[in-house]
Amino acid sequence: MDTSRSCGRAAIGAVTALLLLVLTAVAGPTAAAESHPPPAADPAAIRDWNVIATDTISANLGPTRPSGQVVIWHGFVSAAVYNAVVGIQRTYAPYKWRARGPSTASPEAAAVTAAHRVLLTYFPASQAPLDAAYADSLAKIPDGRAKRQGVAFGERAADHLIELREDDGRFAPVEFTAAPAPGVWRPTPPAHLPFIDPWLATLRPLLLTSPAQFRPGGPPALSSARYAQDVNEVKTMGAKTGSARTAQQTETALFFGGNLAVQFQSAFRDHTARHHLDISDTARMFAAGNASATDAVVTAWDAKLHYGFWRPITAVQLADTDGNPATEADPQWQPLLVTPPHPDYLSGHTTVAGAVIRTLTGILGTTHIDLNVPSEITGTTRHYAEAGQFNEDMINARVWAGIHFRTADVVGCRAGTRIGVWALTHYFSPLRPAGRHAMPPAQQLCPHGSAS
């Protein structure tokens, strides 16, 4: 009887020891994993898909299309990617969404999935290159639960953004119907194209409450001294030939003569990489910058459609019809750059620049923006240390290009600045108060600029 009990105890002890060994073998890697968390998510995934988005948009809209519509698509993609990332990392308030993803999910997988799904939805003709790029991106992420969770949450983030943007007024049959008259826009040479994408004027904004929320007062009256000053300045400084511009001023006009949306995307990628922003901060910069730019386009187009003010080329050539004795017609006058096919007031470039630059200063907590901005027109890159200098160059550039009056540029910048303040006051807020930067004062962000 005693021998039997001893054998039983020995058997139980052996089984217990074996179970402990098994449990230790199973628990060991888990304990190690808990003491050694996975590496930080790689923000390069967001930059890579920003390049893909830029290429996809260009391929579908054409590389020479004015940047108004281009900005909108970047706003959509960036907002979805932002929600996919911060919904997992829980660092910033999601954009118009309450969902939260598993904390164990891969933010990279979520980001690339959200970008892919949004782009594929709006640009189905690019499915082959988008699917190939998506497969390459997923291949860089280790297989497992984190990846699967990230993909699933990225799909949710994209679907939510797409649902938010349903019936938002895209491609609505909006028309510019004002009859030609002194001060009223009409198609400009050489192509005499109609008002491009007028539906942007009525598009539901991403952040603002309506397209007209920050609509400024109208342009100067044709009889005013301010209007005459605008006309005479652009006539002198923006002429294609015989201008008073310096070589540096001409280079500035050309530098900002291309697609501003593409210039900003490159600057965002460079800044987030050089400053080693993590994946949440990278997603936030792209989303806040591109969402404010989207609403800047809507605001500018709202004013263009509402006021329908004529362009410098028309005003200079027909100055004998404006009733202002301080202006003089030059029927042969041509601007340095071809005039885009939409009205003068507000300037789309300066409104977008004002919004983006104000948003960046709010994110960074300083007017020292440290941006490297390239130009496909000049093949050069400029470094902008200060926000005010960027806006001043932008304002001057559109005058020196001969395509905008200074008033349209300065008022556009100021409207954009208001959009940037609204963007960070109502969206993209840190969930940890210690991470919040103060909004620097905006008084110097839209200088009047100089014609000399």
Give tens-digit pLDDT for 269-278: 999 999 999 9
Residue 407 located in a structural domain:
yes
| Residues 214 and 342 occupy one common structural domain | yes
CA dist 46 and 205 (Å) reads 23
What integer pLDDT is reported at residue 65 of this predicted model? 75
| Residues 231 and 120 occupy one common structural domain | no
| Residues 244 and 383 occupy one common structural domain | yes
Residue 443 located in a structural domain:
no
**Residue 280 is part of a domain; what is its CATH number?**
1.10.606.20
Confidence band of 310 (pLDDT split at 50, 70, 90): very high
> What torsion, rounded to 10 degrees, do the Cα atoms 290, 294, 297, 303 define?
-140
Q: What percent of the chain stands above pLDDT 90? A: 85
Residue 5 located in a structural domain:
no
CA dist 399 and 449 (Å) reads 10
Question: Could you report the per-residue pLDDT of 94-121, keeping only the tens digit for each?
Answer: 999 999 999 999 999 999 999 999 999 9
Question: Could you report the per-residue pLDDT of 136-185, keeping only the tens digit for each?
Answer: 999 999 999 999 999 999 999 999 999 999 999 999 999 999 999 999 99
Confidence band of 432 (pLDDT split at 50, 70, 90): confident
User: Does residue 211 carry a pLDDT above 70?
Assistant: yes
Which amino acid, residue 150? G
CA dist 341 and 188 (Å) reads 7
- For tokens 């600057």, name the residue: 267
Last residue of a domain, one of 164, 188, 210: 164
DSSP 281-313: HHHHHHHHHHHHHHHHHHHHHHHHHHH-BPPHH
Least Cα distance to 333 among 321, 320, 344, 317 occurs for 317
Mean pLDDT for all residues in the chain: 90
Q: In total, how many domains does the chain have?
A: 2
What integer pLDDT is reported at residue 67 of this predicted model? 72
| Residues 390 and 317 occupy one common structural domain | yes
In this structure, what are the phi and psi dihedrals at residue 284, rounded to the nearest 5 degrees?
Answer: -65, -45
Supply the range of the domain harboring residue 56.
44-164
| Cβ contacts of 317 within 8 Å, gap of 6 or more | 329, 330, 331, 332, 333
What integer pLDDT is reported at residue 439 of this predicted model? 63
CB of 85 closer than 8 Å to CB of 103: no
Q: How deeply is 396 buried, as exposed, middle or buried, from its count of CB atoms within 10 A (0-12, 13-18, 19+)?
A: buried
Average pLDDT for 393-409:
98
CA dist 379 and 427 (Å) reads 35
Q: Give 193's DSSP letter.
A: P
CB of 160 closer than 8 Å to CB of 91: no
CB of 116 closer than 8 Å to CB of 50: no
CA dist 313 and 231 (Å) reads 10
| Residues 232 and 93 occupy one common structural domain | no
CB of 73 closer than 8 Å to CB of 100: no
Average pLDDT for 314-338:
98
What integer pLDDT is reported at residue 17 of this predicted model? 40
Helix/strand/coil percentages in the chain, nearest 5 = 60, 5, 40
User: Does residue 81 carry a pLDDT above 50?
Assistant: yes
User: Does residue 403 carry a pLDDT above 70?
Assistant: yes
Residue of 308 and 63 predicted with greater confidence = 308
Least Cα distance to 196 among 169, 171, 168 occurs for 171
| Residues 133 and 230 occupy one common structural domain | no
Residue 180 located in a structural domain:
no
| Residues 394 and 245 occupy one common structural domain | yes
User: Does residue 20 carry a pLDDT above 90?
Assistant: no
| Residues 318 and 368 occupy one common structural domain | yes
Least confident of 57-71, 127-141, 400-414: 57-71
Which amino acid, residue 35? S
What integer pLDDT is reported at residue 85 of this predicted model? 98
Residue 420 located in a structural domain:
yes
What integer pLDDT is reported at residue 437 of this predicted model? 56
| Residues 290 and 148 occupy one common structural domain | no
Last residue of a domain, one of 122, 143, 164: 164
CA dist 61 and 72 (Å) reads 12
Residue 446 located in a structural domain:
no
What integer pLDDT is reported at residue 8 of this predicted model? 44
What integer pLDDT is reported at residue 25 of this predicted model? 38
| Residues 220 and 355 occupy one common structural domain | yes
| Residues 204 and 69 occupy one common structural domain | no
User: Does residue 31 carry a pLDDT above 60?
Assistant: no
Which amino acid, residue 196? I
Within 10 angstroms of residue 380's Cβ, the number of other Cβ atoms is 12
What integer pLDDT is reported at residue 42 of this predicted model? 94
What integer pLDDT is reported at residue 440 of this predicted model? 66
Last residue of a domain, one of 146, 164, 182: 164
Q: Give 124's DSSP letter.
A: G
Average pLDDT for 325-337:
98
Confidence band of 438 (pLDDT split at 50, 70, 90): low
What integer pLDDT is reported at residue 434 of this predicted model? 52
Residue 85 located in a structural domain:
yes
User: Does residue 450 carry a pLDDT above 70?
Assistant: no
What integer pLDDT is reported at residue 442 of this predicted model? 59
Residue 1 located in a structural domain:
no
Residue 67: which H helix or E strand, with range? helix 67-89
| Residues 235 and 359 occupy one common structural domain | yes
Least Cα distance to 220 among 176, 178, 183, 180 occurs for 183
